[in-house]
Structure 1
């Protein structure tokens, strides 16, 4: 298993994984073109968005995307896991664990004080929630959104 940073050249892989994640989580329609445009834009040099890809041999099998944010409560800069996806046939094989470890190591290298993640809806995605708890995350409460 190889974990490496995602670059703009990987936008197609990242977009495909994020599209699959959103379809799986919410039943949203697949929007590969829109996801590709956004992945290409964000990976093209935004110094606040970062990603890592997992490969089994030559085949990409997972992605984790992070955004850097800042807050007084966090003591300055911190990371937010925005997407984490592993292809179904590689789940429970340690891929997500390795991607999260890469994200945490990256956060340490940027002197982030914490990394946060929004867990998907419960109880339907309890397995995802339990994964994050096993990896050392602690529950801080639900997140809400307001679409602009």
Structure 2
């Protein structure tokens, strides 16, 4: 489980993930991301973050960040996998599967009935591969999300 001291690492990994997905967009603020990562790592009501490291080199292999949400349709809390990233040097070595298995263990320990994930739109790099990966891990389609950006105050 990630700790407050891991907040910079989490934010840097998310920045790398967003860059790989042709971002980050204007909503990503590196300083705010560090703050949010620290909040998630210290307040279990917000969710949790996991960091996978190489035991020999202490290099970060990957991260998973899950937000806790509450919904009537779920009869309580469940998780949304917000970010899952594995360093390109460690991909295709089952590390994504290991991270998702760790996410599942923590979700079950919290009594959550499900984990959701939003996938990139089809024109994003490796979108087809990502869909296949998540489907191989038991994720099924639950419709398509839509987003509306709100104007910034002031």
TM-score, reference length from structure 1: 0.89
More divergent stretch after superposition (106-115 vs 22-31): 22-31
> Offset of 1:37 from its aligned partner?
2.9
The one of 120, 133, 145 equivalent to 1:131 is 133
Higher relative contact order (CA 8 A, sep 6+): 1
Deviant stretches of 4+, over 6 Å: none
More divergent stretch after superposition (38-47 vs 54-63): 38-47
RMSD: 1.7
Structure 2, unaligned runs of 5 or more:
none
More divergent stretch after superposition (34-43 vs 84-93): 34-43
Are the counterparts in 2 of residues 65 and 82 from structure 1 also a CA contact under 8 Å? Answer: yes
What is the CA–CA distance in structure 2 between the aligned matches of 1:38 and 1:75, rounded to whole Å? 26
More divergent stretch after superposition (46-55 vs 9-18): 46-55
Please identify which structure carries the higher strand content. Answer: 1
Is 1:81 aligned with 2:81?
Answer: yes
Is 1:67 aligned with 2:70?
Answer: no
Aligned residues between the structures? 144
Structure 1, unaligned runs of 5 or more:
none
1:32-111 equivalent positions in 2, closer than 5 A: 32-45=30-43, 47-57=45-55, 58-111=58-111
